[in-house]
Homo-oligomer: A and B are copies of this chain.
Amino acid sequence: MEDVLVVGTGLIGTSVALALTARGVRVYLRDSDPASARIASSLGAGSVEEPSTTVDLAVVAVPPALVPDVLVRLQAEGVARHYTDVASVKARPQHEATALACDNARYVGGHPMAGSERSGPLTARADLFDGCNWVLTPTSDTGTETLNAAFELVAMCGAVPVLMEAAAHDRAVGLVSHAPHLVASLVAALLEPAEERLVSLAGSGVRDLTRTATADPDLWVDILGANALVVADLLEELSEGLDDAVMGLRCMGSTDEDKRSDGARVVADLLRRGQAGRARISAKHGTVPEQYDTVTVLIGDQPGELARLFTDTARAGVNVEEVYLEHSAGRMTGLVQLSVVRNLRKVLVTTLQNHGWRHR
């Protein structure tokens, strides 16, 4: 692949351009906002000149709702031999592009599963896609050369290609991203009108659960809109589970012994299904789920404590899979949770004890 046109110089488009430029590809940049394209260019992402000949690949990196129109206009212009996009929803844009007489032989949909709460070219970086899943959604119309051009793009960005039908992709992101995002916002919304003394008891559980509620509402209205019916179906399924939970809890709150044990059975069943579903998410993406054990260590709240802890962890020769740090109220101390592969816990604990760490 020698030359690529990137249309849309936001976070994703500029990061693609930076990755390709780093691999020696000649990259051309376009954006409806010329200032944005110039900023991306100044970061070393490519040139704002028009390409003098037909380029190998055009990457459409505009918001989902604009993809069909931009894609079809680029094809009419004949700017590239092959076309792809990076929108986070696939079926609806693909359907609309087809209705606008898109040349589907030369187009394959794509979605790099990376991103950030931030946006714009200044947040871009060449290694944004390092090790990420990059979904491609070819159809029976997609030409082999076009698909291979997309594979080359994915490889140059350091990502792992995953082939899926557009509808399956949209169900997947609905399930693991869009529906959970709305649920997090709904739970966080319960906190909005609550009294301060109630909210002040919030701990790490609800904080983790509502983390994504901090994201930009406008961006998410676009994303949810493009996958609206899939997300609506998922939330309806969730709503049935919620109705069961409410019914079970009301029974548990009754004075009738039989009713209480019926309710407890319903709630226990929900919790068990949740436990089973959670067990299906691996700690490392894309690898077989492993069994991890957690070691919780008490640290002082000054610079250097974490360094000292991780130096001692490295001494044990143990690889930490996940780290979670939590501070305590009113105290200059914190708890660090270290996840390690199950059979390495003992080694780590012994080493930490020998170095005087307090753990459990």
Question: Which residues in A have some Cβ–Cβ distance to B below 8 Å?
Answer: 113, 116, 118, 123, 125, 127-128, 130-133, 135, 158, 160, 162, 164, 168, 171-173, 175-177, 179-192, 194-203, 205-215, 217-218, 220-221, 224-225, 228-229, 231-232, 234-239, 241-243, 245-246, 249-250, 252-253, 260, 263-264, 267-268, 270-287, 296, 298, 301-304, 306-307, 309-311, 313-314, 316-331, 333, 336, 358, 360
Sample of 28 A–B contacts (CB below 8 Å): A113-B201, A133-B200, A175-B198, A175-B199, A176-B205, A183-B209, A183-B242, A184-B274, A189-B273, A191-B278, A191-B281, A192-B277, A196-B280, A199-B280, A208-B209, A208-B211, A210-B274, A214-B278, A214-B279, A231-B249, A232-B253, A284-B327, A303-B314, A303-B318, A306-B310, A310-B310, A321-B325, A323-B325
- Chain A binding surface, main DSSP class: helix
- Find the B residue at minimum CB distance from A200: B286
Contact between chains at B177 and A206 (CB < 8 Å): yes
A246 to B310, CA, bound (A): 46
A283 to chain B, nearest CB (A): 7
B-chain residues with CB within 8 Å of residue A211 when the two chains form the complex: 205, 208-209, 278
Contact between chains at B175 and A267 (CB < 8 Å): no
A84 to chain B, nearest CB (A): 18
A158 to B333, CA, bound (A): 12
* A206-B281 contact given A130-B298, A320-B325, A331-B130, CB 8 Å threshold: yes
B-chain residues with CB within 8 Å of residue A202 when the two chains form the complex: 176, 281-282, 285
- Find the B residue at minimum CB distance from A234: B190
Contact between chains at A238 and B186 (CB < 8 Å): yes
Contact between chains at B221 and A264 (CB < 8 Å): yes
Please give 16 more A-B residue pairs, beta carbons under 8 A apart, in addition to A173-B201, A228-B249: A113-B201, A175-B191, A182-B245, A184-B209, A187-B277, A188-B274, A190-B234, A208-B208, A208-B211, A221-B264, A224-B267, A225-B260, A228-B250, A231-B249, A284-B329, A303-B320
Contact between chains at A329 and B133 (CB < 8 Å): yes
A284 to B274, CA, bound (A): 28
A172 to B321, CA, bound (A): 33
- Residue from B232, B238, B263, B320 within 8 A of A250 (CB atoms): B232
A322 to B301, CA, bound (A): 11
B-chain residues with CB within 8 Å of residue A213 when the two chains form the complex: 271, 274-275, 277-278
